[in-house]
Amino acid sequence: MKITVKLFATLRTGRFDEKVIQFSNNITISDTLKEIGITSQEAAIIFVNGRHAEFDQVLYDGDIVSIFPPIGGG
Amino acid sequence: MDKKEIMFFLLARAKDGLISLCDIYDCMKETGLSFYDIEECAMESGLLPQRYERNRGILSISEQLKLLRSSVAIVGCGGLGGRVSELLARIGIGLLVCIDHDYFVEQNLNRQFFCNIHTLGRPKAIVLAEEIPKINPASRVIPKIEPFSIDSGTEIFSGVDVVIDALDSFKTRSELAASCYILRLPLVHGAIAGWFGQVGIQAENSIKFLKLFLSAQGKKEIQHDIGTPSFMPAVISAVQVAETVKILLKRNIGDFDKLFFVDLLSLSLESGNI
């Protein structure tokens, strides 16, 4: 199945802005992060198709996963 | 002078439905009342203080009066909190509760609105309390020079309509989001780092941002690596204030429990439901 992964802010550095990645079935967000080399420490907010999702959420063909780093300054 | 006499005084002076700053000061001299009281009386009479003339296209007099009678707490008075306070005073919010235990230091000069050569070394909340009434004498500031905690929140937020998150760590943000939920207050979250920023609103009966902040605790926040330049607080604080005005005037149906992510490097906006 194909998943579109969108990275934001500093997560793009040395990686990509947006990429369609081919995966086998029944993968989770955690598996996807591992595949693209992002640790759970680096990812604060995940959206799947514009909705907040937990790391253990299972992905389906065509899902769009957006990953944001922790932004906490004031 | 009783209220009817004050209204008569103001109506006699008004031009095109507007009452000038000089008229308000004259009325203060005549009556001994506060600037706030006279602005309130003017708007109750259907007159608009001239300072709000350019608000007329989007705010009715009754909405401007509603803002005057509103109270907003600003938690953190640095990059976001300083600009948020300035914008809230200019739009005409009557009471600002400004909370920050910190003092202005040199590295705040790159972005913090009220930080300048003269205010270095002074408590941020006190400087705001001095400077805000110079912008709008109808806006009163209650300064609180103390770190925010869930224990202090209940007392500090008494009588407040909206709370603004202008903090700089997820740990304190979690306590803030919990306090807002306990007190059933809407929370307008804002955060910045480098070219990036985010805004979101936790509804008064929601814990969605609380959960988000708890899950982000202990993670490496990127502002420690990429800093916070001048333009980012300006952008994010403006969105926070627009959202606050919409909450106060009940115009923001649909904005709650969403997160808006702003990227000024690629000039793009992304949003999602929390």
Instruction: Identify the weakest region by mean pLDDT among A28-37, B181-190, B245-254.
Output: B245-254
Q: What total number of domains does chain A contain? A: 1
Give me the residues of B, 20-79, that contact A with CB < 8 A.
Answer: 76, 78-79
* pLDDT value at residue B200: 97
* Domain that includes residue B18, residue range: 3-64
CA B152 to the chain's CA centroid: 19
Indicate if B7 and B119 belong to the same structural domain: no
* pLDDT value at residue A46: 96
> What does the pLDDT look like over B77-131, one tens digit per residue?
999 999 999 999 999 999 999 999 999 999 999 999 999 999 999 999 999 999 9
- Tell me if A52 and B272 make a contact (CB, 8 A cut-off): yes
| CATH assignment of the domain containing A55 | 3.10.20.30
Mean pLDDT of B220-249: 96
The two structure tokens encoding residue B178: 């919990």
pLDDT of B152 above 80: yes
Indicate if B94 and B56 belong to the same structural domain: no
What φ, ψ does residue B165 adopt, rounded to 5°?
-90, 110
Indicate if B144 and B251 belong to the same structural domain: yes
Per-residue DSSP letter, B105: -
pLDDT of B198 above 90: yes
The two structure tokens encoding residue B222: 């990127």
Mean pLDDT of B202-228: 94
CA–CA distances in Å: residue B31 to residues B1, B67, B205, B271: 6, 24, 43, 51
Q: Of B45, B64, B83, which one is at a domain's C-terminal end? A: B64
Contact between residue B44 and residue B65 where contact means Cβ atoms under 8 Å apart: yes
**ipTM for this model:** 0.93
- Tell me if A72 and B221 make a contact (CB, 8 A cut-off): yes
Q: What is the dihedral of CA B210, B257, B251, B39, to 10 degrees?
A: 20
Indicate if B124 and B171 belong to the same structural domain: yes
Chain A contact present for B173, CB below 8 A: yes
Whose tokens are 């230091």? That residue is: B105
Q: Look up residue B65 and give its amino acid.
A: L
Indicate if B139 and B59 belong to the same structural domain: no
Provide the mean pLDDT of chain B.
96
Q: Which of A52, A66, A72 is nearest residue B191 as measured by Cβ atoms?
A: A72
Closest CA to B188 of B263, B137, B260, B106: B260
Contact between residue B233 and residue B111 where contact means Cβ atoms under 8 Å apart: yes
Q: Which residue of B has its CA nearest to A52?
A: B274
Indicate if B114 and B160 belong to the same structural domain: yes
Q: Of B25, B41, B64, which one is at a domain's C-terminal end? A: B64
* pLDDT value at residue B254: 76
Residue B224 C-alpha, separation from nearest chain A C-alpha, in angstroms? 8
Indicate if B56 and B111 belong to the same structural domain: no
Q: Which residue of A has its CA nearest to B79?
A: A74
* pLDDT value at residue B1: 76
Indicate if B40 and B168 belong to the same structural domain: no
- Tell me if B191 and A42 make a contact (CB, 8 A cut-off): no
Indicate if B54 and B175 belong to the same structural domain: no
- Tell me if B194 and A47 make a contact (CB, 8 A cut-off): no
Chain A contact present for B225, CB below 8 A: yes
> What does the pLDDT look like over A51-65, one tens digit per residue?
999 999 999 999 999
Q: Which of B168, B227, B232 is nearest residue A72 as measured by Cβ atoms?
A: B168
CA B202 to the chain's CA centroid: 16
Q: What total number of domains does chain B contain? A: 2
pLDDT of B15 above 90: yes
* pLDDT value at residue B144: 97
- Tell me if B192 and A45 make a contact (CB, 8 A cut-off): no
